[in-house]
Amino acid sequence: MTDYRLTLFHLRSLKSLRGLRLPAAMANALRFLLAAFLFVYASANTQIKVTDNPADKLVAVINTNRTAHKSSSLDDNAGLACIALQYIKAYQGDCSAVGGPNAKKPADTEFAETFAPNCGVEVSSLSPITGRFLLCQPNYIHAPEAFSMLVDSNKSLEILYNKNHTEVGAAVTGTDGGSPYFWCVLFSNGKPNSSFVFEDGVAKISKPGCFSGANDVCSRANDLSQPGHLWLYVAAAFIAMGYIFGL
Ligand SMILES: *[C@@H]1O[C@H](CO)[C@@H](O)[C@H](O)[C@H]1NC(C)=O
Ligand SMILES: *[C@@H]1O[C@H](CO)[C@@H](O)[C@H](O)[C@H]1NC(C)=O
Ligand SMILES: *[C@@H]1O[C@H](CO)[C@@H](O)[C@H](O)[C@H]1NC(C)=O
Ligand SMILES: *[C@@H]1O[C@H](CO)[C@@H](O)[C@H](O)[C@H]1NC(C)=O
């Protein structure tokens, strides 16, 4: 919002530049350039909020699928999601422990002893886990694909549509920021506002890895910078330059 106002202010101040005999064509071109930046900046910003965390995207897919099936939309709990990230870390990158004959599961005691403290989640606010999905993939896939791989049987559909869930938390991580990629979804029947609460009320962001519910921009499984957005700015600059030279 502030950025938006700031740019409008700049647009207005260009009018006074024209008073200083800046050629009208150039002032128009500059104004267009700023408008182009404003547009691209605004759309880039919206994109960050909506899409730039694969764990949030997975929760969105889960809730869309649940509501299409007349199940309730689940609260995206950042504390639970951070615990899902610790749950992944307990596998120490060992894909073979996720499914199949060597499948392992972290001990229940780990939640109170390790996961909650690592997240700064109050142990007294831990609530029952009513379902879990876990996936390990050699390649990075996007949230909708991860969803179809997580929910691929009648048993997993039962977990997905379970009416006892009230909240959900999702996490994704790559070992050392690369392959293999782990996805974890935990469901709980706790009260959304009073379960898995952070001790100081603020999500403790734990890297590497991404978790849902914290309004945290997180690219892929490690916290990469975002070259995609830089491209948008470059493109805007080129479009604007095209206009200037076309004048
Ligand atoms: C919900 O997910 C299941 C499992 O992936 C899929 O078969 C079904 O078509 C999805 N429903 C909707 C409405 O997308
Ligand atoms: C899954 O559920 C559907 C409908 O409830 C049923 O028709 C199908 O046979 C089930 N599949 C398996 C593999 O159990
Ligand atoms: C929901 O919770 C109740 C009470 O704990 C339990 O008896 C029931 O089996 C649960 N339902 C499902 C679908 O898990
Ligand atoms: C939970 O917290 C949100 C935001 O703080 C609030 O809007 C909502 O009413 C609360 N829900 C309950 C059940 O207390």
Pocket of ligand 1 (CB under 6 A): 65, 68, 148, 151
pLDDT at 28: 66
CB 196, CB 83: distance < 8 Å: yes
- Mean of pLDDT values over 199-217: 87
- Mean of pLDDT values over 183-202: 95
- Mean of pLDDT values over 141-165: 97
pLDDT at 203: 83
| Ligand whose nearest atom lies closest to the CA of 152 | 1
Label residue 194 exposed, middle or buried (CB < 10 Å: 0-12, 13-18, 19+): exposed
152 and 67 in a common domain: yes
Q: Whose CA is nearest to atom 3 of ligand 3?
A: 164
pLDDT tens by residue, 88-120: 999 999 999 998 888 999 999 999 999 999 999
Whether 62 maps to a domain, the answer reads yes
Whether 40 maps to a domain, the answer reads yes
pLDDT at 219: 72
68 and 30 in a common domain: no
Q: Residues 132-155, buried b or exposed e (16+ Cβ, 10 A)?
A: ebbbbbeebbebeebbeebbeeee
231 and 136 in a common domain: no
Task: Indicate the number of domains in the chain.
Answer: 2
60 and 8 in a common domain: no
Whether 216 maps to a domain, the answer reads no
pLDDT at 19: 46
Q: What's the gap in Å between 224 CA and the centre of ligand 2?
A: 41
Whether 218 maps to a domain, the answer reads no
pLDDT at 178: 82
- Which DSSP category does 71 fall into? P
Please state, rounded to an integer, the average pLDDT across all residues of the chain. 79
**For the CA of 147, the nearest atom of ligand 1:** 5
131 and 81 in a common domain: yes
pLDDT at 25: 65
164 lines ligand 3 (CB under 6 A): yes
CA pair distance 146, 25, nearest whole angstrom: 51
CB 195, CB 111: distance < 8 Å: no
Whether 239 maps to a domain, the answer reads yes
pLDDT tens by residue, 40-83: 444 444 333 445 899 999 999 999 999 999 999 999 999 999 99
pLDDT at 2: 34
Domain limits at 186?
54-211
121 and 34 in a common domain: no
- Cis peptide preceding 23, ω within 30 of 0: no
143 and 61 in a common domain: yes
pLDDT at 207: 76
120 and 72 in a common domain: yes
Q: How confident is the model at residue 224 (pLDDT cuts 50, 70, 90)?
A: very low
8 and 83 in a common domain: no
Whether 193 maps to a domain, the answer reads yes
190 and 114 in a common domain: yes
pLDDT at 181: 95
Q: What's the gap in Å between 161 CA and the centre of ligand 3?
A: 12
Find all residues with CB under 8 Å of 191, minimum gap 6, and list them. 127, 166
**For the CA of 162, the nearest atom of ligand 3:** 13
pLDDT at 228: 41
What count of other Cβ atoms lies within 10 Å of the Cβ of residue 211? 34
Q: What's the gap in Å between 154 CA and the centre of ligand 2?
A: 6
Q: What's the gap in Å between 68 CA and the centre of ligand 1?
A: 8
Whether 143 maps to a domain, the answer reads yes
CATH for 99: 3.40.33.10
pLDDT at 242: 55
194 and 72 in a common domain: yes
- Mean of pLDDT values over 13-33: 54
Residue 27, pLDDT above cutoff 70: no
183 and 80 in a common domain: yes
189 lines ligand 3 (CB under 6 A): no
pLDDT at 10: 42
71 lines ligand 3 (CB under 6 A): no
CA pair distance 173, 54, nearest whole angstrom: 10
Share of the chain above pLDDT 90, in %: 58
pLDDT at 246: 55
162 lines ligand 3 (CB under 6 A): yes
